[in-house]
Amino acid sequence: MEERIKKILSEAKNSIGKATEKDLDDLQIKLLGRKSEINEILRALGTMSLSEKKKIGALANKARQEIELEIESKRGQAQGSETSGSIDLTAPGQNFAVGHLHPVTQVMMEILDVFKSLGYEIAEGPEVEDDWYNFEALNMPPEHPARDLQDTFYLEGGNVLRTHTSPVQIRYAEKNKPPIKIVSPGRCYRNENEDASHSWSFHQIEGLVIDHDISFSDLKGTLEVLAKALLGEETKTRFRPSFFPYTEPSAEIDASCPHCKGIGCRSCGYSGWLELLGSGMVHPEVLKNMGINPEKYAGFAFGLGPERIAAIKYEIPDVRYFWHPNIKFLEQF
């Protein structure tokens, strides 16, 4: 009996192997149908002794399953071969319109995602500001030399096109008590000649965190997280002293160049480092201007330029590309 089952199985495999897709249905009936040999054996089990029943039953059922599988897999093969045979897989499919977000928008979304995951709130403010919010509240009284550095567009009547997004911090802090944990993205303006590294508008994303017990080390940690998130986990950072009127102490953070991994290349001016952003502990005068007691609270602030990050990431040599729309440039992103 065992021999017979073996024979049935090998014959079945053989005929399945030779069959075309059309024959499969008939073959299935022949091999597994009511009148099939294997069913005959199964029906005959009732006449066998208990031990034989057990042994033959198991073998016959196993053979039956094997045949079923064989047929299924043959069907699958047939299906695959039909599709690939008759269709040119290299031909393009239906044409769907493809649009593009501005590369700077993409970078901003990426940066803001990092901060949202760190629990920051997004705050926005007007692009035209008055002198108090843009300068004085930020510890830049009239005649402060930093005002010259930030060549400013003045409107008739004395308002200014904001030169940074820091005024948003003052506005937010006036309306909200600490703890404060915000990032403010937006457009800023500088009145300087347009060239490869200067444009009349640019974006900034500024962060502000104020609470009891906020430390300078917290700033360092936050910026390291940001640098790694933007430029890759292997990014090294350098936190170094700097000077800004609105922070004390001030710091800048450099990131190891993602293109040469810090060895030195054209992108980083052969220094291995890229200046990423400016930051610092909020100056006590600025806290006072926000209506916050510097004896009780401390805070840090930082500001970064998405255009700069985009230029680094995509190796774009000229910031003017961002502001003079050219479809051939924009469609690359």
Q: Which is nearer to other proteins, 135 or 322 (CB)?
A: 322
Q: Which is nearer to other proteins, 27 or 304 (CB)?
A: 304
Kindly tell me which residue out of 2, 10, 11, 243 binds other proteins, with binding defined by CB under 8 A: 243
Number of residues that bind other proteins (CB under 8 A): 81
The span from the CA of 227 to the CA of 114, in Å, is: 10
> Considering only CA atoms, which of 318, 229, 332, 248 is closest in space to residue 287?
248
Q: How far is the CB of 139 from other proteins (least distance, A)?
A: 11
Kindly tell me which residue out of 107, 123, 257, 277 binds other proteins, with binding defined by CB under 8 A: 123
Query: Does residue 132 touch other proteins according to CB under 8 A?
Result: no
> Considering only CA atoms, which of 249, 243, 239 is closest in space to residue 140?
243
Return the amino acid letter for 325: P
Q: Which of residues 300-319 bind other proteins (CB under 8 A)?
A: 300
Q: Which of residues 261-300 bind other proteins (CB under 8 A)?
A: 281, 283-284, 294, 298, 300
Q: How far is CA 309 from each of CA 104, 227, 254, 276, rounded to the nearest angstrom?
A: 8, 10, 12, 8
Q: Which of residues 9-48 bind other proteins (CB under 8 A)?
A: none
Q: How far is the CB of 138 from other proteins (least distance, A)?
A: 15
Q: Which of residues 180-239 bind other proteins (CB under 8 A)?
A: 181, 185, 187, 189, 191, 193-194, 200-201, 209, 211, 213-218, 220-222, 224-225, 238-239
Backbone angles phi, psi at 53, to 5 degrees: -55, -50
Angle between helix 306-314 and 103-117 (nearest 10): 110
Q: How far is the CB of 272 from other proteins (least distance, A)?
A: 11
Q: Which of residues 157-176 bind other proteins (CB under 8 A)?
A: 157, 159, 161
Q: Which is nearer to other proteins, 47 or 95 (CB)?
A: 95
* Residue 190 in tokens: 């500088």
Q: Give CA 21 to chain center in angstroms.
A: 47
Map residue 108 onto helix, strand or coil. Answer: helix
Q: Give CA 73 to chain center in angstroms.
A: 41
List the strands of the sheet with 237-244, edge to edge.
Answer: 121-122, 180-189, 201-211, 298-304, 273-282, 247-256, 237-244
Kindly tell me which residue out of 19, 118, 260, 265 binds other proteins, with binding defined by CB under 8 A: 118
Q: How far is the CB of 105 from other proteins (least distance, A)?
A: 6
